[in-house]
Structure 1
Amino acid sequence: MTAPTVLPRRTRTRRRLWWTLGIAVVLLLGLLGTAMAVVALQPAAAPLTLPPAGSVAPAGPMPAQWRIASGSAAGFRVEQTFLGATSEVTGRTEGVTGAMTMTGNRIDSVEATIDLLGLTTDGKQPAPQFATSLETGRFPHATVRLAEPVSLDDAFASGATTEFSAIGELTLHGVTHRAPAALTARRDATGIAVTGSLPVHFADWSIAEPEGYGALGSLADHGTAEFRLILHAG
């Protein structure tokens, strides 16, 4: 009967080392693949949109004074990349207050104050990336103002959804800059709803770029500020 072959101790040690390294590589690739899938499939909040139109058409002259009411929201959207997989990080808050004044169909002024301390990523969890970059402990609020009056067509007063552009003035991180805003608005029997967005290049507002993932990925050096204002007369 032939005796079993016994490998030298050095060979056995080398094989164990290769097996250990192989298992570590497989685990690492699995973790990276899972992380890529999480980043690629991470659900981002959809852009803020107008609420459904009411069943009753608006009537009568346009009131002059409006206040921002419940249902308003604001936040930021930044693109992230991890090993080539791309998705968006969003932060939202419903802490929005302020007012708007009008003369007929002309919007004379809008000022909205946004509570940055209330930013969350999914309606529940805090948004630490935004809190760190925006230094919300020092600058807990942002403001959005209408820099120049905007006139809307007569169809808006009758309830038509109207798209228009305006110049906004965004105060963020203690810095104020003007930026073009793309807006959509609609009047119904209960009030006016407005959605809009402004581009934000972090360097313009002296904001530190959000921390990325080292050599594996990064967050963009710009983002989008977006908002939805629900306005009631009064």
Structure 2
Amino acid sequence: MSEKANEPDWTERRSTGMGRFKRHWKAWLIGAIALGLLAFVGGPWFYINVLSDPPAQELALGEGQQGGGEAVPVDGTWTVSEGSQAGYRVQEILFGQDTTAVGRTGKVTGTAALSGTRITSGEVTVDMASVATDKSGRDEQFRNNIMSVSQFPTSTFALRGPVDFGSVPAAGQKVSVKAAGQLTLRGVGKSVQVDLSVVRNADTIQVQTSIPVKFADYSIPDPGIPGIDIEDNGIIEVLLNLRKTT
């Protein structure tokens, strides 16, 4: 028998080669899909947990407190001073991964009038264009599409009646009380009930509150973008250092 007769038929070799190619092609496709899924899930996880800073802790009494000594009388006008902060906290889902966005600013102004055991009036204003997170892209979305700061540059909270503590807090004493007020965001004002935590120091009074906000109540557009889902509500956080001015 000739050597040629012993050689594999060309059609058989072609069939064998195609079979190998199909098996390799399927393996490559499965591998590509697996890598894509890994990148889809693992990429955001790596970004959130490795590349990004952890979200800031909630604002709390004690931050920026002034030292001890005999406390100044409470009666008079108290002005928002250095160390005051305000901002927001919302939950995000970044390509399936849960994360928390926290925006803050120190550009907070306002006054409160105290008489005896009561806060008789008070209003706080926040410069919304200065609110910032750790991501410039998120901040641009917040300032332009969400809060429209060019049209609504500030947000405010104003008391809608006196707040009575029952007795004048001693220096270093922390007290809590409910207060009625009006919160204005994006030009829309709504009545709210808030819990105020207050501590009196030697020459300052510190006030902290957190206000739940449902975005639709304030005509705030859906803040989500493709790939990032955001809850339809958030928290406004405020920490005030008040210093007596008159």
TM-score, normalized by length of structure 1? 0.86
Match of 1:199 in 2: 212
| Percent of aligned pairs with the same amino acid | 32
Which residue among 103, 125, 129 is the counterpart of 1:91? 103
Which residue among 108, 129, 153 is the counterpart of 1:140? 153
Give how far 1:127 is off: 1.8
Looking at structure 2, the residues matched to 123 and 94 of structure 1 have their Cα atoms a distance apart, in angstroms, of 17
- Segments of 5+ residues of structure 2 without an aligned counterpart are 1-5
Match of 1:105 in 2: 117
Give how far 1:212 is off: 4.3
Matches for 1:1-234 after TM superposition, within 5 Å: 6=13, 8=15, 9-31=17-39, 32-36=41-45, 38-39=47-48, 43-51=54-62, 54-82=66-94, 85-122=97-134, 127-131=139-143, 132-154=145-167, 156-214=169-227, 218-234=229-245
Structure with greater Cα Rg: 2
Give how far 1:187 is off: 1.0
SS at match of 1:22: helix
Could you say what the CA RMSD is over the residues aligned between the two structures, in angstroms?
A: 2.7
Give how far 1:164 is off: 1.6
Deviations for 1:28-60, whole angstroms, at most 9, x for unmatched residues?
222112314544776211111122555424435
Looking at structure 2, the residues matched to 126 and 220 of structure 1 have their Cα atoms a distance apart, in angstroms, of 15
Count the aligned residue pairs: 231
TM-score, normalized by length of structure 2? 0.82
Change in Cα spacing, 1:35 to 1:126, as seen in structure 2 (3 Å) is closer
Contact 2:169 2:175 in 1 (8 A): yes
Give how far 1:18 is off: 1.8
SS at match of 2:27: helix
Contact 1:57 1:159 in 2 (8 A): no
SS at match of 1:21: helix
Give how far 1:168 is off: 2.4
- Segments of 5+ residues of structure 1 without an aligned counterpart are none
Change in Cα spacing, 1:155 to 1:65, as seen in structure 2 (3 Å) is closer
Looking at structure 1, the residues matched to 136 and 152 of structure 2 have their Cα atoms a distance apart, in angstroms, of 21
SS at match of 2:146: helix
Change in Cα spacing, 1:207 to 1:112, as seen in structure 2 (3 Å) is same
Give how far 1:130 is off: 2.4
Deviations for 1:10-33, whole angstroms, at most 9, x for unmatched residues?
334423432332232222222112
